[in-house]
């Protein structure tokens, strides 16, 4: 889980665009006419320089845009498509290069699976880039409304690539994969920074942007008063209302006792119809389901609900520490599809602390939402792997880094329960993996409570427990308006051993209460730790941090939109 340092300097587009760039000409010695040293006109060169201003790999960015800049009538959408298409080309090249790497399954099963995972993750990246190109087909106004979505997708594309190499242990295979991905990672890194500054880029094209008080913004705010995440539309509101009222008729029923159509959840998912449109609803009756479940990407919009926490339980014990299974594959329940919803279920990994990395629930599907669920494990319990995720009224149990990932995640009104780790271990509640400062991702705990379980309680002061540590250099973790138990260490945050991530990560606290909330003795080692104001904290509420409502204003499920 080590990480290379990624530094992203911030450059103002508006300052760059004000710079006057001259056209260089070369005079031939024989007196012939002047020859242009540039392949495009002055206004286009200014545009390219401005758009590439926020990127780290400027030469690669400018080379990407030179062709489109030759077209004097090119629009903002044309430039965005060029950025994404260039990344897509290189990710496809990386996928092809990775496909040529062969690892003997019998001699090295772990790295064989890790390299196969790389192909799988890069394939997801290709899908997301293709979706981004489609998203850029509308007008400039549509582009603005989808800025957060495009930023989230580009951030995920980058994370797919780094996750690919993170899990390969053999240096030879790791180096081979990394060398094939150099161009892809650079161009995707650039795309993240460009999408983060998309509003400023649109101003260069004189696109009139809606203000904060626009009709769209008002509709979003009104819709969200009901308390569900942005992307929940009228259909989802009605669906959950029916579920709450006991009137929901599922597509399939799973029951251990044979009273349903299927006895396992996996069988129910296999019944997902080809080319199905709409919401596929699965009811899992009370019982303990000992199976590893994967919702693959070809099965979007699944709503799975149980009979309640501790009644409907999905359990397993796959782990890295004993079984030498990669972290991704230890998940008892994994979702890889967009639009996944779960309610009233427990997801469990029973490997215990000796299993080390042992995931109970993993999601890399966009617009994931879970309500009234329990996630039970030790190390690495809840893996918000990629993209937008929302958890509400849940219970999350664990020891080391037990809420971790690279997605855009908000956990709200939930109970976070810390367990007793192995002897000589510490507890860290969170471990965020943001890698690019302007990326959309990070972790927010809002209106949560952090408490010890019954086994930890008698020895809670003997075992160091921290709010979190930075898994990656630009990790972002915000704990706000939450209740922190007395066992939280006064320094609050822990350094990731062997790294300098604490110099570059961002750890914020706001409005917390309880004996562990006193920030007077928080560690000075974290250069960007800050107790933020209410105005600053508002940026990390569901309404802003998971800003899908800009492009899907019709919403619907329980959430607290703002701070209060």
Q: Which residues contact 505 (CB under 8 A, 6 or more apart)?
A: 432, 434, 470, 472, 473, 474, 475, 476, 477, 526, 528
| Contact (Cβ atoms closer than 8 angstroms) between residue 436 and residue 416 | no
Q: Which residues contact 510 (CB under 8 A, 6 or more apart)?
A: 478, 479, 480, 481, 531, 532, 533, 534, 536, 537
- CB count within 10 Å of CB 296 equals 13
φ, ψ of residue 456 to 5 degrees: the values are: -80, -30
- How far are the Cα atoms of 258, 307, 380 from residue 422, in angstroms, in the given order? 40, 33, 14
Q: Which tokens is 157 given?
A: 């594309």
Q: Which residues are catalytic?
A: 380, 401
Length of the chain: 564
Q: Which tokens is 324 given?
A: 């030498």
> Quick check: helix, strand or coil at residue 505?
coil
Alpha-carbon distance 264 to 319, whole Å?
22
Could you give the angle at which helices 147-166 and 76-99 cross, rounded to 10 degrees?
A: 20
| Contact (Cβ atoms closer than 8 angstroms) between residue 471 and residue 494 | no
Q: Which residues contact 458 (CB under 8 A, 6 or more apart)?
A: none
- CB count within 10 Å of CB 150 equals 25
Alpha-carbon distance 385 to 400, whole Å?
17
Could you give the angle at which helices 58-69 and 42-51 cross, rounded to 10 degrees?
A: 140
- How far are the Cα atoms of 66, 241, 254, 493 from residue 528, in angstroms, in the given order? 37, 43, 48, 12
Give the strand pairing for 374-376 and 395-398: parallel
> Quick check: helix, strand or coil at residue 244?
helix
């Amino acid at each position: 889980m080590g990480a290379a340092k990624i530094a992203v300097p911030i450059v103002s587009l508006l300052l760059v665009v004000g710079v006057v760039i001259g056209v260089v000409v070369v005079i031939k010695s024989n007196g012939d006419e002047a020859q242009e040293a540039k392949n495009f006109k002055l206004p286009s060169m200014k545009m390219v320089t401005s758009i590439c201003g926020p990127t780290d790999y400027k030469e690669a960015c400018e080379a990407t845009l030179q062709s489109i800049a030759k077209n004097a009538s090119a629009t903002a959408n044309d430039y965005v498509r060029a950025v994404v298409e260039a990344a897509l080309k290189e990710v496809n090249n990386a996928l092809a290069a990775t496909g040529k790497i062969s690892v003997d399954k019998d001699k090295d099963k772990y790295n064989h699976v890790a390299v196969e995972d790389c192909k799988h993750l890069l394939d997801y990246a290709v899908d997301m880039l293709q979706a981004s190109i489609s998203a850029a087909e509308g007008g400039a106004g549509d582009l603005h409304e989808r800025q957060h979505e495009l930023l989230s997708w580009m951030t995920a594309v980058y994370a797919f690539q780094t996750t690919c190499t993170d899990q390969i242990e053999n240096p030879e295979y790791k180096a081979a994969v990394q060398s094939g991905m150099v161009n892809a990672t650079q161009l995707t890194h650039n795309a993240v920074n460009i999408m983060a500054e998309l509003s400023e880029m649109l101003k260069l094209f004189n696109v009139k942007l809606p203000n904060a008080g626009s009709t769209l913004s008002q509709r979003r705010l009104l819709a969200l008063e009901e308390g569900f995440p942005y992307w929940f539309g009228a259909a989802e509101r009605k669906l959950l209302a029916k579920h709450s009222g006991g009137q929901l008729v599922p597509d399939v029923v799973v029951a251990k006792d044979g009273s349903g159509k299927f006895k396992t959840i996996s069988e129910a998912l296999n019944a997902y119809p080809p080319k199905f449109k709409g919401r596929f609803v699965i009811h899992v009756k009370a019982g303990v389901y000992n199976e590893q479940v994967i919702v693959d990407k070809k099965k979007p919009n699944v709503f799975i609900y149980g009979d309640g926490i501790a009644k409907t339980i999905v359990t397993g014990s796959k782990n890295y520490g004993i079984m030498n299974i990669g972290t991704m594959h230890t998940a008892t329940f994994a979702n890889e599809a967009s639009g996944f919803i779960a309610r009233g279920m427990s997801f469990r990994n029973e490997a215990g602390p000796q299993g080390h990395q042992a995931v109970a629930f993993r999601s890399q599907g966009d617009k994931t939402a879970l309500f009234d669920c329990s996630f039970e494990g030790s190390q690495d319990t809840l893996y918000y792997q990629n993209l937008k995720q929302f958890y509400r009224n849940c219970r999350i149990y664990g020891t080391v880094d037990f809420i971790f990932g690279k997605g855009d995640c908000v956990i709200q009104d939930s109970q976070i329960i810390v367990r007793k780790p192995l002897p000589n271990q510490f507890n860290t509640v969170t471990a965020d993996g943001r890698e690019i400062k302007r990326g959309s991702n990070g972790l927010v705990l809002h209106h949560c409570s952090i408490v010890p379980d019954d086994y930890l309680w008698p020895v809670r002061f003997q075992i160091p427990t921290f709010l979190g540590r930075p898994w990656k250099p630009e990790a972002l973790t915000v704990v706000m308006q939450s209740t922190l138990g007395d066992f939280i260490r006064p320094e609050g945050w822990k350094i990731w051993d062997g790294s300098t991530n604490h110099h570059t990560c961002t750890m914020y606290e706001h409005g917390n209460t309880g004996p562990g909330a006193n920030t007077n003795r928080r560690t000075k080692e974290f250069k960007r730790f800050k107790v933020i104001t209410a105005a600053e904290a508002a940026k990390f509420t569901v309404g802003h941090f998971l800003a899908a409502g800009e492009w899907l204003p019709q919403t619907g499920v329980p959430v607290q939109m703002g701070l209060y």
